Amino acid sequence: MSLEVEDVMVEEVVTIDEDEPVSKAVELMNKHEIGCLVTIKRGKPSGILTERDLLRRVLAESKDPAVIKVSEVMSKPLVVGKPHMDVEDAARLMFKMKIKKLPVVEKGRLCGLITLTDLVRVQPQMISILKKLSTQEITPKRMKKVIDYYIA
């Protein structure tokens, strides 16, 4: 029996409305000690705001986090997985899309989040899958640190 995304995902996902100011997002990320927030528009997941988004689109451009809205700097469109998706398929999707965090959505409703680190930690065979993927394709730069740390 293979492991499914719902077996590994975190179910308590911290979210923020995309119309909120970036300063509120930073406050939430610090409070919960997390590296991303799933953004919500009219009750549905609409994007993701990561530490990298904040560095590239707020700090590097000297924008005021109290003024700029989350929707202006979040990553979109949102790439999502499904709860009953095989973890290997989730890893392939993340590799292909060059992402380290995959929100899990079912029938338009956010039900979890899985990260590349979660995949590597829970399933030793995932290491061989990622090793294979990293030799077949160029490892995406933003995934390289996790791959090198856990796989190399």
Please write the tens of the pLDDT for every residue from 3-31: 899 999 999 999 999 999 999 999 999 99
Summarize pLDDT for 71-104 with one digit per residue, the tens: 999 999 999 999 999 998 999 999 999 999 999 9
pLDDT at position 1 is 54
What homologous superfamily does CATH list for 5-151?
A: CBS-domain (3.10.580.10)
What contacts 24+ positions apart, CB below 8 Å, involve 80-85?
Answer: 80/45, 80/104, 80/105, 81/5, 81/105, 81/114, 82/5, 82/106, 83/4, 83/5, 83/6, 83/9, 83/111, 83/112, 84/4, 84/5, 84/6, 85/4, 85/5
